[in-house]
Amino acid sequence: MTLAALTLTGCSSAALSGGSDELAAKNPLVASASFEMHRESGCGCCVSWADYLRKHGAGVDIVVNENLESFRAEQGVTDESSSCHTALVNGYVVEGHVPVGAIERLLEVKPDAIGIAMPGMPAASPGMGGTEADWEQLEVMLINIDGSLTPWKF
């Protein structure tokens, strides 16, 4: 198996990444985190989601991974929970266009789980469009250790 990868390193502070100190203050755990986001080379919305995280102060390393399906399987992400990109942060998987509020809660609560996901590619999600009010209405799922999904409230 050959893994084609290219890593692009992002900034880790709101000031360096073009983010807002105000946004970083609202989600301090996200702002202090470093994400490793895996995506396929042709995915532009993935870059938009990474930029969204950076605006909240997070550091984001982008890895172009042309074997994303296998990578997801290795992380415990099933077809049911998959989206267009997979991020790793603090031992958790964040699958898809998940809002920072849901990630902040994940990093605060630290559940015994694989991570969280927003399956598919909802049109009004971060990196796909919409507003913060839209994002708060989206359904995020907790990926349990057994791979099952349960709603993740944030």
pLDDT tens digits for range 12-29:
344 444 556 777 778 899
More confident residue, 70 or 133: 70
- Residue 134 has what pLDDT? 84
Q: Which residues contact 101 (CB under 8 A, 6 or more apart)?
A: 27, 135, 136, 154
Residue 13: what residue type? S
**Residues for the chain: how many in total?**
154
| pLDDT one-digit tens code per residue, 32-58 | 999 999 999 999 899 999 999 999 999
Per-residue pLDDT for 9 more than 70?
A: no
The β-bridge relationship of strands 140-144 and 34-39 is unpaired
- Segment 73-97, tens digit of pLDDT: 999 999 999 999 999 999 999 999 9
Predicted local distance difference test score (pLDDT) of residue 2: 39
Instruction: Specify whether the CB–CB gap between 71 and 54 falls below 8 A.
Output: no
- The residues pairing with 36 across neighbouring beta strands, listed in sequence order, are 61, 88
- Determine how many CB atoms are found less than 10 A away from the CB of residue 79: 9
Q: What is the pTM of this model?
A: 0.85
Q: How far is Cα 62 from Cα 65, in angstroms, rounded to an integer? A: 9
The answer to whether 107 and 70 are in contact (CB under 8 A) is: no
Measured in whole angstroms, how far is the alpha carbon of residue 67 from the centre of its chain? 18
Q: What is the mean pLDDT of residues 103-132?
A: 94
